């Protein structure tokens, strides 16, 4: 038995199949951890979602910002759904859309396996969050997302504020938790996120730190595997294993074996015809940038 974590698929079905073949994945024996963002931009989101759904008995996934955006789009009218990009349109207008979206909505925001010694989250953790705190906060969101109030949450999750504060309540609290776990790259020591800065470390303005390097951050008792930050590339340090290596931009799709003391990384070529990646913006203007709702970049 082997346990593999896999970085952001983003609708790259062909690359996903190549990677599963390369690691000799056997669903009867092995397990997969998907770091979120199964869909969007790759052109094969429907096929990718169907594939991961078919592997649900032998895999675990966490929700990324693009997955949550897809769920929100699924709540809209058909007329509104036809205005989003063709890759996501194919999902929300598919015959099996209800099966796929109902399954996606029941997935986790973070996954913890203390016996294995790992935690998985799509983007990152707030500076002061321990792994136990992060797990507890994730459950708050999941309780709403998995219940009959999911539609309200999916409408209310958009927006860059407020910054995390333990005293937050209601939708502000849930939005802050979602933003941290699915959109975080850089933040201040007080936990204020910069949403506009997406470049590699060293390009950010003074006063911002990669989330895993913030001075005074909490000690964490588990190794963390995550995705989301394609310009970071493969990064291993501070107990963090970041494995979004830009498959959708023509980079690599990465798998990391979790059940071994050896560092075992397997990669395959990503999207055959890469799209132009978004240009990182380095000037931070907290609270002013609002991403398009169908992307939640």
Residue with tokens 């002061």: 128
Helix, strand, coil content of the chain in percent (nearest 5): 30, 15, 50
Q: What is the pLDDT of residues 76-114, one digit of tens each?
A: 999 999 999 999 999 999 999 999 999 999 999 999 999
> Which carries the bigger pLDDT value, residue 67 or residue 274?
67
H and E: helices and strands count for the chain: 9, 13
pLDDT of residue 227: 98
**Residue 132 or residue 274, greater confidence:** 132
Q: Tell me, what DSSP letter sits at residue 58?
A: G
Task: State the first-to-last Cα distance of the chain, in angstroms, to the nearest integer.
Answer: 35
Per-residue pLDDT, 289: 32
pLDDT of 292 > 90? The answer is: no
Spell out the long-range contacts of 153-160 with Cβ–Cβ below 8 A and sequence spacing 24 or more: 154/68, 154/71, 154/72, 154/75, 155/72, 155/75, 157/68, 157/72, 158/72, 158/290, 158/293, 158/296, 159/290, 160/193, 160/195, 160/286, 160/287, 160/288, 160/289, 160/290
Q: What percent of the chain has pLDDT over 70?
A: 92
**Mean pLDDT over the full length of the chain:** 92
pLDDT at 45 over 80: yes
pLDDT of residue 275: 54
Full 3-state SS string of 212-269: HHCCCCCCCCCEEEECCCCCCCCEEECCEEECCCCHHHCCEEEEEECCCCCCCEEEEE
Question: Which residue reads 């930050």 in tokens?
Answer: 229
Give yes or no for residue 42 having a pLDDT over 70: yes
* Angle ∠(30,223,106) on CA atoms, nearest 5: 60
**Per-residue confidence band for 285, with pLDDT thresholds at 50, 70 and 90:** very low
Domains of the chain: 3-269 (3.60.21.10)
pLDDT of residue 272: 78
Strands 240-242 and 223-226: parallel
User: Beta strand pairing status for 193-194 and 118-121?
Assistant: unpaired
Q: Which tokens hold the place of 247?
A: 């498959």
Q: Is pLDDT at 176 greater than 60 in this prediction?
A: yes
The burial of 49, by beta-carbon neighbours within 10 Å (0-12 exposed, 13-18 middle, 19 or more buried), is given as buried
Distance between CA atoms of 260 and 58, rounded to whole angstroms?
Answer: 18
Does residue 287 or residue 89 have the better pLDDT?
89
229, pLDDT greater than 50:
yes
- Given a cut of 80, whether residue 297 has pLDDT beyond it is no
CA distances from 264 to 26, 133, 190, 247, 260 (A): 18, 29, 35, 19, 8
pLDDT of 264 reads 97
Inter-residue contact 177 to 137 (CB < 8 Å): yes
Specify the pLDDT at position 283.
39
Report, as an integer, the average pLDDT of 138-158: 96
Across 207-220, average pLDDT: 97
Q: Which distant-in-sequence residues (6+ apart) come within 8 Å of 205 by Cβ?
A: 194, 197, 282, 283, 284
């Amino acid at each position: 038995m082997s346990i593999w974590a896999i970085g952001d698929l983003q609708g790259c079905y062909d690359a996903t199949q190549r990677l599963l073949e390369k690691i000799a994945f056997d669903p009867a024996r092995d397990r997969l951890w998907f770091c979120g963002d199964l869909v969007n931009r790759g052109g094969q989101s429907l096929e990718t979602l169907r594939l991961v759904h078919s592997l649900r008995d032998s895999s675990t996934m966490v929700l990324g910002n693009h997955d949550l955006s897809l769920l929100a789009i699924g709540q809209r009218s058909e007329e509104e759904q036809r205005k989003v990009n063709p890759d996501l349109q194919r999902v929300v207008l598919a015959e099996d859309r209800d099966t796929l979206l109902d399954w996606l909505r029941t997935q986790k925001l973070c996954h913890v396996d203390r016996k294995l010694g790992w935690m998985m989250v799509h983007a990152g953790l707030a500076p002061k969050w321990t792994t136990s705190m992060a797990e507890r906060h994730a459950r708050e969101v999941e309780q709403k997302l998995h219940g009959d109030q999911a539609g309200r949450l999916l409408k209310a999750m958009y927006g860059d504020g407020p910054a995390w504060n333990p005293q937050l309540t209601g939708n502000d609290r849930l939005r802050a938790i979602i933003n941290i776990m699915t959109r975080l790259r850089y933040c201040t020591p007080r936990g204020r996120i910069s949403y506009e800065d997406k470049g590699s470390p060293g390009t950010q303005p003074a006063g911002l730190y990669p989330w895993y390097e913030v001075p005074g951050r909490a000690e964490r008792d588990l190794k963390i595997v995550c995705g989301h930050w394609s310009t970071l590339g493969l990064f291993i340090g501070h107990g963090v294993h970041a494995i979004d290596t830009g498959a959708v931009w023509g980079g690599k799709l990465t798998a990391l074996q979790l059940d071994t003391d050896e560092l075992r990384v397997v990669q395959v070529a990503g999207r055959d015809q890469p799209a132009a990646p978004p240009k990182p913006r380095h000037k931070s203007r907290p609270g002013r940038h609002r991403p398009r709702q169908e992307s939640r970049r």
